[in-house]
Structure 1
């Protein structure tokens, strides 16, 4: 059994045979995290993988179903770190997944430069300047660049990943140019991009992007991913991503 605190609940992790601790007042994972976990390249048999801004650990848990490699999650909020750690223990994955409570900016010095084959991150999307900050501290930190900026995320990812290793982000399309510029500035060459659209005919609201450290230019734009059909139901591809069913 797992000890739940306050308003926490133990949810099934979609199509996977896993459970994850969530809390509506602190954190519940979104579609963005699931899409990133399915989008990123992973070595199947082995590898050293790290997820920055990991929240309650949803991305490491999802990645663990695609690789036998060792996964590290880094989270600055102690409450979320504790939730992730207890979920790992409940799922008996603490021999393959570890969580670190700390600032991502400290990780290269703490964990080593160029030690990871893959880096993933679902970072805060919004700049703090000129934006109304959520009154809920947990939501504000998760959504706004309070403890780390986009540049911090890209720079730290570049420092952690080995040459030839992969770095993948999920973000908002309105920062697409900034993301590409920062990736190239920190020697991560964009290799594949996919835009996610809420419905056909609507503007994209999510961006998935993966790059290679010190890679050569060779960018692929993948087909668009449409989330909802004309009946406001998940499309066939999204259902397969979420639930493993068509």
Structure 2
């Protein structure tokens, strides 16, 4: 593996990072919790360098992934990661603001959408200086609206966010016609509060939510069996 490349595990995927862009394990967790298959087209909103798209293509076998981001340098990196993984024919980057996603993608329709949006307000006192982590322009509601506009009826959105934003997210999803169907509360270690959540919501879906918990590390700081199984390719 060359310098600057990060392995995505047994699936064989690799990701290049760039100045100002580092993917988080939240994206990896989201990609592994997605339910998707070979007939699905994936919309990766706020795609960054493409870790979710690469994992969806290599592990879930989706037919095609389209990534959208407002940072031209990041979209260029998305294309380089497509080439690095031999996925250029199935992975396409689009540079556009998420608030203009519907017009930027014309009449395209998607089976699945993935969103790992900025977590923090522009100046909320958290010290999150990375612009990719801040809601400096588009906010959570904009990402939800874009997914609702571009998903087919019956399509699924997969969203990861901080646990403190759970109420906001569930409210926005239902208001946009995306019914929350499956929720994972993610705990960093035993006895700690949930840190993030991953929710799956269906466009036009009926009411009914299944809630599960997922603990990342055990008392020794090692990955739990459930995380190892989730991340494996078996």
What is the TM-score when the length of structure 2 is the normalising length?
Answer: 0.93
Q: Distance in 2 between matches of 1:128 and 1:68?
A: 34
Q: Which residue of 1 aligns with 2:124?
A: 130
Q: Distance in 1 between matches of 2:74 and 2:38?
A: 29
Provide, for residues 128-173 of structure 1, a one-character-per-residue CA deviation record: whole Å limited to 9, x for no partner.
24335545xxx22x11101210111111111111111101100011
* Residue 189 to residue 114, structure 1, CA distance change in 2 (3 Å): farther
Is 1:75 aligned to residue 69 of structure 2?
yes
Is 1:145 aligned to residue 114 of structure 2?
no
Contact 2:144 2:173 in 1 (8 A): yes
Provide, for residues 8-49 of structure 1, a one-character-per-residue CA deviation record: whole Å limited to 9, x for no partner.
7122222221221114x422221111111111221x221221
* Residue 114 to residue 56, structure 1, CA distance change in 2 (3 Å): closer
Query: Which of 216, 219, 222 pairs up with 1:230?
Result: 219
The count of residues paired between Structure 1 and Structure 2 equals: 233
Contact 2:45 2:115 in 1 (8 A): yes
Q: Distance in 1 between matches of 2:52 and 2:38?
A: 18
Q: Distance in 1 between matches of 2:217 and 2:61?
A: 29
Shift of residue 244 of structure 1? Answer: 4.4
- 1:64 aligned counterpart, secondary structure: helix
* Residue 189 to residue 113, structure 1, CA distance change in 2 (3 Å): farther
Q: Which residue of 2 aligns with 1:14?
A: 9
Q: Distance in 1 between matches of 2:124 and 2:54?
A: 35
Contact 1:72 1:98 in 2 (8 A): yes
Q: Distance in 1 between matches of 2:123 and 2:23?
A: 25
**Ranges of 4+ aligned residues in structure 1 off by more than 4 Å:** 132-135
Query: Which of 177, 189, 197 pairs up with 1:207?
Result: 197
Is 1:120 aligned to residue 120 of structure 2?
no
Pairing of 1:161-176 with structure 2 (within 5 A): 161-176=151-166
Q: Distance in 2 between matches of 1:34 and 1:238?
A: 11
Query: Which of 226, 229, 232 pairs up with 1:240?
Result: 229
Shift of residue 115 of structure 1? Answer: 0.8
Pairing of 1:185-196 with structure 2 (within 5 A): 185-196=175-186
- 2:38 aligned counterpart, secondary structure: coil
